[in-house]
Amino acid sequence: MAYFDAASTEPLHPQAREALIAALDAGWADPARLYGPARRAKMLLEQARAEIAEVLGCRSDELSFTASGTQAVHLGVLGALRGRRRAGSRLVVSAVEHSSVLHAGQVHEAGGGSVETVGVGRTGVVDLEAFGAAVRAEGTALACLQSANHEVGTAQPVAEAAELCAAAGVPLLVDAAQTAGRAPVPPGWSLLAASAHKWGGPAGVGVLAVRKGTRWRSPLPEDERERRRVPGFENVPAIVAAAAALRAVAAEAEREGARLAALVDRVRAEVPRLVPDVEVIGEPVARVPHIVTFSCLYVEGEALLTELDRAGFSVSSGSSCTASTLRPSHVLEAMGVLTHGNVRVSLPRGTSEADVDRFLSVLPDAVRRIREEAGVKL
């Protein structure tokens, strides 16, 4: 089985596995206590915090651990809005943000706030002029922009958006789930969220960074842990494993990223040549190295996923977080591209050229069979 769904979750990195096993013995105690095993757990926790903060480009006392990337986004968005209530109640988001940002926006609207959604072009890049106008509007409390899109891989102009936000005095939250460890985080953000299982760490560990000077108040009942930002007992072994994975992935990012980008370029070039009536979606140059998305006319995405699964390939269709709802992808709709027959291929670390070759040999027949069953002949 070839696993091509790294944008949903990256397989556990070998160094994370080793660190996790060791930390289960060394870091099981409550890091808030004062006895020996607890002090050892506290040391491991703070060492992991410092290592992750270094890779993400923030101070260790700005970084807190959450139960997931989704929780990090929810806390980041709702906490910043609560902390800046005097500044206003407007939230600005791009139309292609992760569902966690959009869901936080719905909660904000239910509480009386407003959300302005900024559109994107056909490749998924946010309209910077419209984004700037939105953040300059009176009463804007927070803006959100992902570092790269989780469905189509398009990289967003975060540095430029951050300059617009800074000029307007509005903090910017960056969802860096798809780029943390793979590429440097662009400067200028005020809050940042990421998820360890996206970079090869274990599931159940998210990170929320809040820059010093950024007004933020927890939307949850106060707890003494994680600098009063995140309630609950820290999963120290998983956090240690997350740090080990991030260190390893960041160290190999330039080499492995270039290798995966070449494989993705091959898929982008070959799929339209091999399969009639296919649209390759997303920015062709300014993108993450591991994601390629395409849509096949006259094909249901779920049917194609089933065919590819039978052939030994794990791929995704539409959004990994909303595919089960059977609703069209909000990302693809916002881009104005074909929403059905969509396949997202996202290559994990170590993907072989042979696996990509086999995928390209299997795909045309899979699409042809589905079209013939539907009575379509091209």
Give the E-state strand segments of the chain in sequence order.
2-3, 63-66, 90-94, 114-118, 140-146, 172-175, 191-195, 206-210, 278-281, 291-296, 313-314, 342-346
In whole angstroms, give the CA distance from residue 256 to residue 1: 21
Give the contacts of 186 (CB within 8 A, at least 6 positions apart): 147, 158, 159, 162, 174
DSSP state of 60: G
For residue 198, the number of C-alpha atoms closer than 13 Å in the C-beta half-sphere is: 24
Which residue reads 């960074």 in tokens?
209
Which of 283, 281, 260, 263 minimizes the C-alpha distance to 272?
281
In whole angstroms, give the CA distance from residue 93 to residue 135: 10
Catalytic-residue membership of 296:
no
In whole angstroms, give the CA distance from residue 367 to residue 378: 11
Which of 146, 131, 141, 132 minimizes the C-alpha distance to 96?
146
Sign of CA dihedral 199, 326, 331, 64: negative
Catalytic residue, from 58, 165, 296, 321: name it: 321
**Residues that are catalytic:** 321
